[in-house]
Structures are given as structure tokens and as C-alpha cells.
Amino acid sequence: MAFRGQVTLLGLAGATALATSASAESLEVTHWWTSGGEAAAVAHFAEAFRATGNEWVDGAIAGSGSTARPIIVSRLVGGDPMGATQFNHGRQAEELIEAGLFRDLSALAEAEGWRDVVNPPSLIDACTVDDRVYCVPVNIHSAQWLWLSDQAYADAGVAVPTNWSEFVAAAPALRDAGKVPLALGGQPWQAMIVFETLVPTLGGRDLYDAVYETKDADAARSDEMAAIWQAMADVREMSRGTNVQDWNQATNMVVTGAAGGQIMGDWAQGEFATAGMTAGEAYHCLPGLGENAVISTGGDAFYFPVLDDDAKSEAQDALASVLISPEAQVAFNLRKGSLPVRGDVDLEATNACMQKGLEILASGNTIRSTPELINEDTGTQIGDLVTQFMNEDAMTPEDAQERFAVIIEDAE
Amino acid sequence: MDETGRPRRPLRNLSAKLAMLPMILTALVVFVGGTLWTVVHSFTDSKLLPRLDWAGLEQYDRLWSSDRWLVSIENLVIYGVLSLVFSFLIGFVLAALLDQKIRFEDTFRTIFLYPFALSFIVTGLVWQWLLNPDFGIQSVLRDWGWDVTVDPLYDPGIVIYGVLVAGLWQGTGFVMCLMLAGLRGIDEDIWKAARVDGIPKWKTYLFVVLPMMRPVMVTALVIVTAGIVKLYDLIVAQTGGGPGIASEVPAKYVYDFMFRAQNLGQGFAASTMMLVTVAIILIPWAYLEFGGKRR
Amino acid sequence: MSDSARSAAADPSGPVPTGPRPRRRVSRGNVMLYGTLIVIAVYYLLPLYVMVVTSLKGMPEIRVGNIFAPPVEVTFEPWVKAWGEACTGLNCDGLSRGFWNSVSILVPSVVLSIAVSSISGYALTAWRFRGSETFFTILIFGAFIPYQVMLYPLVILLRELGLYGSLWGLVLVHTIFGMPILTLLFRNYFATVPKELIKAARVDGAEFWTIFLKILAPMSLPIFVVAVILQVTGIWNDFLFGVVFTRPETYPMTVQLNNIVNSVQGVKEYNVNMAATILTGLVPLTVYFVSGKLFVRGIAAGAVKG
């Protein structure tokens, strides 16, 4: 149903494209939003851009950044840059900025007062290098959510937990009922999400900042951190028997009641919606695990390669301005299931979980996402460690903590 | 070093040299050039973009102190040896069976070869399902009342064999095809002679035909080995390197560090180690194979 | 397909095989032969069965699902969607969008790479000169270099040649990476051709090109078929080079396949994934089936040799 609507919309957009005059500037936009809902969301950006009299040439590439990144970097290095590209903001783009491959958007940012409207301000900081703004943040995704299956708990005869300690306490009852307490897919990044959720929620913001931002090895060796690794050992025990790889297969176990819960980002919402379940009735969500309602504000941003053509540069400015405009922000994020980057727009979210997210965002209880704080190299090392820990019972929490501390010590 | 092209006909030799020019350029510019470039950059601390900031042996230190790299190498050895043995065995047997002037040869050949046409991403996914203990082969067998355990992908000790099953399924068809081409290149007279002499068929295959197929075998060996060294997509799709790091392979280490971790230097160091290993094996062998045979 | 094979094998009273040489009637050995082939064929077909069955189910059925169960309600929607409706970002025309792009990349790449490599292989067999084997060894070494490692050097090379972003740049890349294995393939196959044949032709004064085109190539049909299989598969399924060295207007079909199959976030539609994979595989599969007939003709060529 939703799908048909989207096709019609795109059909219209296509027709408009044909009608545009040849004098319009066309910009090739690369991004990795390709699933049904994501593509429908991008259509709103494209439509708004076309309304400025320009042409959006879509260059979608699916997969995570590791698929798209070599392609984007090759195009830039090969001297055949696109007009605009999605790129995770934060540390990843720094080198390309230093190499002078991305345009400085400071003038536009100044004129439109991005710094005043973007909330949380850390998002615009992530786009800033040496006081110059190089990217436009477009949405916020958060990872710190615990999704719970009402049915699983009903079957096991215990109440649906309202926080992490209750969740852990209820685990044996679920096991007795033949269920997996915590579904966790086999791909390494999913174990990472769990870890990055436990640190700020059970350990608190201070611990998170000390470890990830200041890279304090003492904090990484502290008792608070030891508690996190103990909790990871609990997770190891509770997730035993998940036996699936993809995150959405794990989510599906929560949907069908085969598992009690899953720690996953806000995008898991879509799976429950597809299954026709309503938040608060058939499933529950606990941002910050119900312990400490804090969410990280990761997300996506757009960068604009330097092009040797004034008319194209103008079109780039027009696109940047469209991406952050209130109308496009609302339309895009409603479709995408993410939160807008502007504090001054009203997203009429009907979904209970999305509403919770918006409230936390408004309250300012947010943390910066890990890609903004540590580079991907360190992230990969932590990821390898976490996934190894989750799958090797022989590794004690103490061993893991020490190895973690060494990685943090070496981090830049 | 003989001069097969006779010097008294320089023009004819010239066209042979001209014909080989693309190969020579590719070998020198792309492969030698690209390899040198990689080796040089493995001594730098290049991150997202290749840069010449020297870091000495730092990348190699880190590489050899990484658990993941060591596991990767072990897996490659296990997978490589078994994959070579089985793909040759199965490939040759299938080719010999198809060479019996059977009916429906086209159909059978296409059945054995079709997996080769499918993308690794979905091959991995399908085998991941088939080997899933909860809804794959194990659950079916248990429904039939056989209490067996078929969950290689969730047992770190044997996960690499689960990958092997999928890898063989995908690749043996092509080895078969190559062998079949070799068999088709064998003179009919040889068979006639063997039949006249009353040599049993299997003996003819083993002692007469097989030795004659040596060149095709060498080709198959290089193709299969190159595929093993580059093993990447299947692992990503089927196990993601898991459980934990139990099914990691070197090529995945290289790509992950180059493009995910954005530590080009580390990725180049790992690929340099891979290339050095290949060179150590390849050069003496190539000398015997290509150099010694000249008469 | 295997049904008809099975009935032929299991029914000895059926029509006698009408092969070129009906020397063996249906015997116990024959039953063994076909039995073995059929058992192996089942192993090879099982994953395909799962793929086809999955592609005919709706998503709710897959979620519930036993992967082996036939669809309760057969739907062709996933196939329609994979071919003509699945979106790559904003372009919702499915795999069909990249089909002709893939063809226009495939044809010149396959032709050029096989032409260059077969000639190199021929020159290496019959016209060796000082150092030619050294270059060849280096070339073989290239077969073991992971493509991704060569990505940045290649980008720089093509930029310097001014070919970056053009179709010919991509064709060149495919030719380069096809060359090690193809050259080896041809060199080793040509080596099995009796030396006397070439020598005699040279004594008769035949030229470099004449010997290749008139004598060697026609009798090497099976190996050309193998080369075509290898290249069609490799180039048709290539994703990385196709996307790096082209523009969105000329993206090959695999970019779309990747977009359908490889989405990390959002809902994974396994049924569409399976349909898309089978659809994308159809071109190589057709080539396999058609070229298979040529294999048989390879025997005829071999007979000429004797």
C-alpha cells in the first residue's frame, strides 16, 4: 500500500523532471539510501531540489559505508566528482576536507544561521573543521533502544520489564519458557551496538565521555567499566541460541515472540510497523534501556565536492539549503523514521516510540555518536574485540577489559 | 632460452612481439607497478587517502600481534587445502561422468555449472539458511526423527567447513567444465588404442588421460588457488566472519581495514604479506613449470 | 529437467539412447551412472529450489517460515518488483534499468579480453622469445592480487590516461584483470596441440596470424567456450569496477542487484532478493546452456586432428 503510493509519487517526480528546461543545472547525488522507505524519503529531497529549477541525478549505491566509500573516494581522486554525496560526518571526512576535495559551505551556513537552528549543536560541530562548515546534517538516528516482545513475556508469565535490571532478572523465566531472552544477530556491528548502548546507559554519560571522547585509559580500567563488561557477559549468556545473522531476523524473533528483546537502533521500528504491531500494545521500547534515557545523535550528512563550474556551485548551494529547510526536514524524516536535525520544526510523530525519542532530544539528554569521537580504525578494533568476547566463552570480562583499555590507550 | 622465431625472419618475429605487447604492458605497468605501489604504501600511516608519511614497520608489528590476522591465516590454510582437493576430485569425476556420451549432457552440465552464475552475496545467504539449525537442514532431519546436529555456522570450531560446502557448491562446476574441455581435447585415437589393448576404462583415465591433461590441470590449479586467496564475498554473506572472528580470512582483513576502518596502511601491509606468500610459492613453481620445460 | 532424466534412467524398456555411438544399451552400469549424476544434481539443485520457492512467497509467509515448504500462495510480485519496480534510490525501474548497460559493457569487454589473451597465449606457445616467460610469470602473479588492493592505483592510472569515467576505461580494466587467467588458459590448451602441426605450417610459409586464425583457433573451440563462460560470468557479475568507473546513467545491472540485496537498514525483502539474483544470473546461464552445444562440437574438431 505504502509502496504503491511511493511509485505514484516517483512517477510524478519523473514527469516533472522531463518537463524541466535544459538550462537547469543537474547535480549527481550519491547516497546509500536504497530500501523502500529510505528511497521514498530521498524522493522528498529530490522533489524539493527540482522545485528550485535544478535537476537531481540519482546515484544510489546500497550497502553500508564500506561499500560506498571506496566508490566515492575513487570518483573524487579520479577527478570525476559527483555533485553532492552522503558521507558519515565526523572524523571520516576530515582527510578529504584537508585534501581540498570538499567545498566550504561557511558562507551559506552563516547566512542561513545553521548554528542557531541545528539541535543538538554537536551535529554542526561534526561538520566543522577549523571553524569552517563543510557539510549539512540531515537526520538523527540513535542506537540505544531496547525492543521488547509483550507476547514473549506473556508466554513466560512475567511482566514486561521496564528497565535493564528487570530485564536481566526476567531472563531465566524466558529460558524456562524455551525462549531466547535477548536476540542478537551474528554480524559484529550488532554486538557493537549493544556495547555502545551499555556504556552510556549503565555506566553513565561521564564514563562514556571519558572513554570515547578523552580516551582516558584509566576510565577504561575503572570499576564502572568492569561492570559494563560484566553486563556484556550477561548479554553473552542471554543471547545464546539466537542463531541468525541479520539484524532484522533477530528483530523478527522479537516480533514473533521467540525472543524477549533486542537492543537495536531506532530503525528496528520499521520491522514492527511492517508486522502491523503498535508500540505500547504489542511491543514496548525502552530508550536508554529504561535506566538512563539518553540517546546518541548519529546520523547522515551531505558533502559537496569542489567543482570547477560556478553554475554547478550555485546549484550545490541551492541543494544544501533545501536539505536543511524545515519543510524538507519534516517530509524526509517522517518517511525515513529518523529525527529532524532542526530544533524548530514540529514533527507530528504519531508513533509512541518516535515521540519518546523527540522528547529526549528536546530535553537535550543526548550524547555524540561514536563515529564523531573515535576513528573507524579504533572502532574496528573495538568491534573485533567485542564480537570475539561474545563468541568465546573462555574470554573473561577482565581479559576483555584490559584489551579494551589498550585499544583506548592507542586511540587517536 | 631459444629463439623460436628465427632471426632470419625478423618481420614475423615482430608480429609475435607486437601481439605480446598488451601482455607485457599489463604485467609491468599494472601488476608490477601496482604491487610496488602497494608495498611502498604499506610502510606509511595512510588512512583514508594514500599518503607517503613513513611509519616504518609499525603496520607490520600491529598486523602480527592481531588475533584476527592469525585466525585468518589458519582458516585460509584449512579452506585452501580442502577446497583444492575436493574441487579437483569432484570436478574431474563429474567431467568423466559427463564424458560418457550420456543423454541430457547439456542439462547436467548446466545444473553443475549454474551456481557459478549466481552472485556470492545470495549464495552465502541461501547456504546460511540451509545450514541454520532452527529452520534449515537440521530442523528437517529432526522432523524426520534423526537426532543430528548440523549447525556448522554457529560452532566456531567447524564454521570454516560450513563455508567450504557453499564454496564447493559454487565453484566445482567451473572446474568440471575446464576438465571437460581437457577431455574433449584428447584425441579419439587414444581411446581407440586403449580399447583395442583391452585396458579398463578407469585405468585409461588414471594413467593415460590424466597425465595428458596436465596443462588443463595447471590452469585449474591457478584459477582455484587465485579464488581461494581472494575468498571474501562468501564469508561476508554467509558468516560475516563469525561466530566472533572464527571464520575470518586474509582478504576480508585487507578490505575491512582498507575501506571500513579506513586504515589503508594496515590493509596494504596485510595484502603485502599475502602477496609475499603467493610469490614464495609461485616463483619456484613457475620456474619449474614454465622455465624448465623449454627445450 | 531432472525428472525426464530420472525416467530415462529408471526405465530400461524406454527408448534406447540415440547417441552418436549406441554401443552400450541400458545396463546396470548405466543405471549407476545416471543414478550418481541425479544424486549429485539434487545436491546442486537444492539451493536453487530454496531460492525459487522463496521468491514465490510473500514476506509474511517467509517470516513464519520453513524454507523448504512450497508457497501456500504463489505470488509473482517479487519477480515483477525485482525486474521492473525495485528502486535504486529514486529510480524505480528495477533490474531492467541496467540490463542494456550491462550488455554494452559485457560485449566489448569479453571480445577484447579474449582476443588479447588468446593471441598472447598463442604467441607464448609458438613464438617465444627471450624473456617472454618472465613476463608471463609476472602476469600469473597478477591473478592472485585482490582487486580491491589495485583500486586506487588503477584510478590513478586511468586518470593519467584520460580514460577515467569512460566505457573504454572500464573495458580496459576488465581486459587487464581477465588477462592473467585467460592467457594461462589459452597457453596451456594450445600447448596440447601437436607441435608438428604448427611447424609444418611454418615450413609452408604460413604467417603468424594465418596460423592462429586458420589452424589453431578452429580446433580450440572447447577452450574458447570455457573462456567465454569465465569472462561472461566475471564481467556480468562485477560490481566494484562497474560502479567505480561509470556514471549513474550507465550503471550495470549488478549495481541494482546490489541495491536490492545489500541494503543494510530498512526491511530486507528476501523474496525480491532471490528473484533478483535468479534474474541477474539468467544471462550467464543462457550463455552456459547455449555454449554447451559447442563443447560437443569440440569433439568433432578433435576428430579432425587425428
Q: How far does CA C262 lie from the centroid of its chain? A: 22
Cβ neighbour number for residue B107 with a 10 Å cutoff: 18
Chain C residue with the nearest C-alpha to that of B251: C146
Asked if residue C166 has pLDDT above 90, the reply is no
Asked if residue C305 has pLDDT above 70, the reply is no
The domain of A54 spans 23-140+298-360
Chain C residue with the nearest C-alpha to that of B136: C67
Distance from CA of B169 to the nearest CA of C (A): 7
Does the beta carbon of B290 lie under 8 angstroms from any beta carbon of chain C? yes
Pick the CATH number of C96-305 from 1.10.3720.10, 1.10.150.20, 3.40.50.11440, 3.30.420.10: 1.10.3720.10
Residues B35 and B102 in one domain: no
Residues B102 and B33 in one domain: no
Residues B159 and B13 in one domain: no
B168: in domain: yes
CB A75 within 8 A of CB C244: yes
Q: Which residues of chain B have pLDDT under 50?
A: 1-8, 294-295
Does the beta carbon of B161 lie under 8 angstroms from any beta carbon of chain C? no
**Measured distance between the N- and C-terminal CA atoms of chain A, rounded to whole angstroms:** 49
Cβ neighbour number for residue A214 with a 10 Å cutoff: 11
* DSSP H or E segment with residue B19: helix B10-25
Q: Report, as an integer, the average pLDDT of C147-170.
A: 87
Measure the CA–CA gap between B72 and B67, rounded to whole angstroms: 9
Predicted local distance difference test score (pLDDT) of residue A254: 94
Residues B156 and B32 in one domain: no
Residues B212 and B144 in one domain: yes
Residues B106 and B63 in one domain: yes
* Percent residues over pLDDT 70 in chain C: 86
Domain boundaries, chain C: 2-55, 96-305
Does the beta carbon of B231 lie under 8 angstroms from any beta carbon of chain C? no
A248: in domain: yes
Residues B89 and B230 in one domain: yes
Tell me which of A384, A386, A389 to substitute to probe the interface with B (most B C-beta atoms closer than 10 Å): A384
Residues A43 and A54 in one domain: yes
Residue of C1 and B69 predicted with greater confidence: B69
Query: Against a cut of 0.80, is the pTM above it?
Result: yes
Residues A328 and A311 in one domain: yes
Residues A350 and A251 in one domain: no
- CATH assignment at residue B261: 1.10.3720.10
- Nearest 5°: the CA angle C220, C221, C224 is 95
Mark A288-324 as b/e (b = at least 16 C-beta within 10 Å).
bbbbbbbbbbbbbbbbbbebeeeebbebbbbbbbbbb
A3: in domain: no
Q: What is the mean pLDDT of chain A?
A: 87
The domain of B25 spans 1-41
User: Nearest Cα to C179, choosing from C142, C126, C220, C134?
Assistant: C142
Predicted local distance difference test score (pLDDT) of residue C288: 87
A7: in domain: no
Chain C residue with the nearest C-alpha to that of B170: C44
Beta-carbon separation of B259 and A70 below 8 A: yes
CB A283 within 8 A of CB A147: yes
A185: in domain: yes
C267 confidence band (pLDDT: 50, 70, 90): low
Q: Report, as an integer, the average pLDDT of C10-39.
A: 64
- What does R_g of chain C's alpha carbons equal in angstroms? 24
Q: Which residues of A touch C91 (CB under 8 A)?
A: 58, 60
Neighbours of chain B (3+ CB pairs under 8 A): A, C
Cβ neighbour number for residue A144 with a 10 Å cutoff: 29
A163: in domain: yes
Residues A270 and A302 in one domain: no
SS3 A148: strand
Number of structural domains chain B divides into: 2
Residues A203 and A262 in one domain: yes
Predicted local distance difference test score (pLDDT) of residue B236: 86
CB C228 within 8 A of CB C291: yes
The ipTM is 0.84
Tell me which of A61, A249, A335 to substitute to probe the interface with C (most C C-beta atoms closer than 10 Å): A61
Number of structural domains chain A divides into: 2
Residues A55 and A170 in one domain: no
Residues B1 and B123 in one domain: no
- CATH assignment at residue A222: 3.40.190.10
B54: in domain: no
Residues B27 and B68 in one domain: no
Residues A249 and A217 in one domain: yes
Q: Report, as an integer, the average pLDDT of C267-271.
A: 79
Residues A262 and A132 in one domain: no
Place of cell 566550504: A104
User: Nearest Cα to A163, choosing from A329, A300, A288, A294?
Assistant: A288
Does the beta carbon of B67 lie under 8 angstroms from any beta carbon of chain A? yes
Residues B246 and B282 in one domain: yes
Residues A33 and A70 in one domain: yes
* DSSP for residue A388: H
Q: What is the mean pLDDT of chain C?
A: 82
* DSSP H or E segment with residue C261: helix C253-261
Beta-carbon separation of A34 and C87 below 8 A: yes
Measure the CA–CA gap between C255 and C253, rounded to whole angstroms: 5
SS3 A175: helix
Grid cell locating C74:
504463489
Predicted local distance difference test score (pLDDT) of residue C26: 61
Residues B89 and B140 in one domain: yes
C299-305's contacts with Cβ under 8 Å and 24+ in sequence apart are C299/B184, C299/B188, C301/C218, C301/C219, C301/C220, C301/C221, C301/C222, C302/B184, C302/B185, C302/B186, C302/B187, C302/B188, C302/C219, C303/B188, C304/C219, C305/B187, C305/C193, C305/C194, C305/C219
Residues B104 and B202 in one domain: yes
Q: Which residues of chain A have pLDDT under 70?
A: 1-23, 64-65, 90, 349-350
Q: How far does CA B46 lie from the centroid of its chain? A: 29
